[in-house]
Amino acid sequence: MRVNIHNVNLVISAVKPAQYPNTNMPEIALAGRSNVGKSSLINKVLNRKSLARVSGTPGKTITINFYNVDNQLMLVDLPGYGYAERSKKEIESWGSMINSYLEGRPQLCQVVQLVDSRHKPSREDKAMQEWIQECCAYSVVFATKCDKLSKTQLAKNLEMIADELSLRDGDILIPFSVKQNECVDHFWEYVEGCVLEEEEEG
């Protein structure tokens, strides 16, 4: 791989645009429900045990976390959405925080959505996908926790997810499990093939 995942660091945990890193690196933002496994995915693809904090309590990520990957790419972990046991004020604050990043960050080149492969996408998942389809050239969805399903059930659920999210020709839907190392290869194949090469051509 061209990206050295041994050269990674958490740059900052930001809550407002003034705190965002001043870099020109392309950014891939990870979006998903609070319990979908974003932190676990980050740790897996970066070969770390606890770079991103994994909590047993959903809704703990309340900042936008910027991870510098080999000075070539920034992975951006957005606060999880859809966790109902937070106050209305907190939920509105998180929504404003996410919108400020998504709508005002020129370095953002793709939003990767994570959904749970075992369940039908939620209303919030569908709303996020609508935003991605409006603002990105194509959609990228990782269906997490796929090791918990049989091959037959996974294939059926992937079709259901694609239908529920109204994915189009050219959109990307990839099953992902932290227990399967080939899923890491799939992640970096996407990143290097679809993001870094586009940046080089641009």
E strand or H helix at 173, and its extent?
Answer: strand 172-175
Q: Per DSSP, what are the bridge partners of residue 65?
A: 13, 77
Model confidence at 60: pLDDT above 70: no
Q: What are phi and psi of 107, to 5 degrees?
A: -75, -15
Q: How far apart are CA 68 and CA 63, in angstroms?
A: 16
Model confidence at 67: pLDDT above 90: yes
Band of pLDDT at residue 74, cut at 50, 70 and 90: very high
Which of these, 119, 111, 138, lies nearest to 32 by C-alpha position?
111
Are the CB atoms for 30 and 190 separated by under 8 Å?
Answer: no
Band of pLDDT at residue 64, cut at 50, 70 and 90: very high
Q: What is the pLDDT of residue 58?
A: 46
Render pLDDT for 81-92 as a digit per residue (tens, 0 to 9): 865 555 555 556
Q: How far apart are CA 75 and CA 133, in angstroms?
A: 20
Q: What is the pTM of this model?
A: 0.87
For the chain, the average pLDDT equals 85
Q: What is the pLDDT of residue 94?
A: 63
Q: Which of 20-24, 36-40, 44-48, 89-93 has the lowest mean pLDDT?
A: 89-93
